[in-house]
Chains A and B, each alone.
Chain A
């Protein structure tokens, strides 16, 4: 049981990372971005590409300390994050900004985002094919923690990076003027405009943050499991559930929602066949929508 909770926290950290960007965009533009999952996939594959390139440089080939992955992969976080930020912002400018200008209904944008998701995934299939990929072929060392918990060393890395990134974004959103304006915008977009906050400029920040966190989530998810073209698409369900659980536009809610989803999914394997794990996300989402449609942290407005 405790072991499953720990695994749940590992998975939950990755979900939390992915859900922050999703809730920011949802809160500000009403767009429930279905391409967010595939943005995660893209981040993971870009790291695969650059990790491979970097590994050709002799001294980057070696594994990082006790972890399974190489220095090359660690270094590939940088290009992956940068390209993902660029991609997220570019997609917004090319697709959603035009739709906002045209006053498109949020359902229209929602469907457009499914299109973007398919396009991104198609791109992955063309370049890397449908096969599984791994960041490393080597062993995945484990460590024994008190209470008989067996954890892969990589998972400690995952948690540190995930919560480090989340803490960084949290500080940015809580302490800086731009960060506060982003929260204000996600909280009450109309009032933000009336206060003189430029929505389009702030959206560049929001998409940038979403892209950055998606890339990090993708690489971490790739380290935890393996890379396949549908990894992000399937991951979208727990992400949606986490965001709905947390409440529209609530960053704290998304983080808490992510953890709950991770733990609930892992603990469910005690009672259910693991194949049904994704269904747990679905059930929680439906229960929240029925009993607390504004989410746990979503107060104030519908």
Chain B
């Protein structure tokens, strides 16, 4: 049986407002427990919420960026359930009238295809606190610092058909919210969390299968693994004659499996109703215009521009446009070097692996865009070869200065003087007289192979500095001549 995978995602993004969504407390991460919990965050008797306008502005930014309908009359509702880290016994969220309605997002796949994913809605809500189960001798500690942090919950249509597409979608959202400056995207700290709804159906079937929701997956890698393992579980279950039960599940990365958390029967009836403490949010057209004017160039536009302006492939352009910082870096390197393809290669491959190895973001790169651009200029004017460039790049990463300084100090300048190269070659050929004899006696096919040996010897003799093209030409004439 051929199975088709159907995935829809709910992404919770913590908005980077300075204070909470309904109180004046700070939203800084990592403070001492309960030092950022005001009377409102504690759900004290008699307290009332006041909406933080900045959260509204950020949600609207997101809505405009995905071409969504903005709920110009949107309403906060109470989602009622009991949990110790939910101080009021209800979460203020949005139900029937969310701030962001239907929109969409284009994601670029590795094979260069573009896929459009629908966004059903995005709504504002408050985060809960944290229950701490360790260090309390069997009791539970409650930290309410996070309670009331603004979240934008982004709900996708069930449009994704593979774990890879799901990851590409999350990466696109991740890039977008960081571009907009509305979420820091720090998944390790929980600033961006993902619930994955996964079902399978026989290929060609129109109706969806029964879905399971994998809660709170918090890295790109785990999203892919969790979905794949859940898909595998569902396929095996059905092929063994079983049935998928609608469930909330948790992914265990150590065992690479999902486990049930609660089933539909145990699900809460949240008894949503409009929060009488908050008035409906009315968004005027003028406000929308103001927000629209502040939108930066966004990843899809940037990707298209990179393709058109620099002739890059869809995939390269979309990778470079992933973060604002990376795109800016790339454009700076292009500006200095005047060669977009060379710049794209160096930024994606060498710089990428350097940053990866050092575990730093591009805005803390040990090699600046100016340094890299300067080095690319030296490749282009034949001062250094691509091979020597790697040595220069490593030296720049070690803080040895600009490319020119390094080339100078280390004497890495390429030798292009025909006379000097010729002398080196003569010396090398004399030392390998036997091989020269063999070469001359050989037929065309064998000569090809042997030629490489002489090039290698020549480069070795010149310590890699001889211009490879000149070496080729001179060698050929000396051997054939």
The answer to whether A and B assemble together is no
List residues of chain B with CB under 8 Å of any chain A CB: none
List residues of chain A with CB under 8 Å of any chain B CB: none
